[in-house]
Amino acid sequence: MANDIPIVVVGLMGAGKTSVSRLLGESLGRPVRDSDEYLRERYGATAAEIAEREGMEVLHAREVEHLRACLAERPAPVIAAASSVLDDPGARAEMKPALVVWLDAAPEFVAEKIAAKPYRPRFGMEPLVLATELHERRAAFFEEVADLRFQRPSTSKREVARAVLDHLERRRSRLTP
């Protein structure tokens, strides 16, 4: 796969997007772009703070803004994208040329991660209720965009990164005459 095709890592909060993206970026020598870091740097607030102060719609619009900017960036980065971007049909369509890696995690696992990190938005819901609702609402969108799917945590972050790198190598081998 050419270096001009972005890699987008998607999944619910706490699935391991940031860690997997960093492993891939380091291995591939690509820049890594993370939605949470972007929000803190650009707006001086965490996702939870933005959601609380300005509302969920503003937060999600900013997360889509981040994805779109990253997809246009060259050299193509590895992008740890907020799962909310999948609610936007235009954003899903814009991901089609990218390699999209889905870290699929059970709501129980995600709920533990939400509860452990105060910067993760809860939208006024208990972590398990929120994780279950998000999983049910976005599962079809994840399936629509994903080129590769990994179950977390049964597949470790390092195993995911290795499998993605192997996929890229096989693809590169098929494309090289």
How does residue 172 score in pLDDT terms, banded at 50, 70 and 90? confident
HSE-up (13 A, CA, CB side) for residue 24? 33
Residues 6+ apart with CB under 8 A from 125: 133
HSE-up (13 A, CA, CB side) for residue 154? 6
CA-based torsion, 137, 143, 148, 152: positive or negative = positive
Percentage of the chain lying above the pLDDT 70 cut: 93
Q: Is the pLDDT of residue 121 over 80?
A: no
How much is the average pLDDT of 7-12? Answer: 96
How much is the average pLDDT of 43-57? Answer: 92
How does residue 1 score in pLDDT terms, banded at 50, 70 and 90? very low
To the nearest whole number, what is the mean pLDDT of the chain? Answer: 92
Q: Residue 31: what pLDDT?
A: 97
- 81 with 58: CB under 8 angstroms? no
Q: Is the pLDDT of residue 20 over 70?
A: yes
Q: Is the pLDDT of residue 19 over 80?
A: yes
Opening angle at CA 130, ends 159 and 138, nearest 5: 60
Considering only residues 159 and 177, tell me which one the structure prediction assigns the higher pLDDT: 159
d(CA 55, CA 72): 27
Q: Residue 119: what pLDDT?
A: 62
Q: Is the pLDDT of residue 23 over 90?
A: yes
Percentage of the chain lying above the pLDDT 90 cut: 77
Structure confidence by residue, pLDDT tens digits, 127-158: 898 889 989 999 999 999 999 999 999 999 99
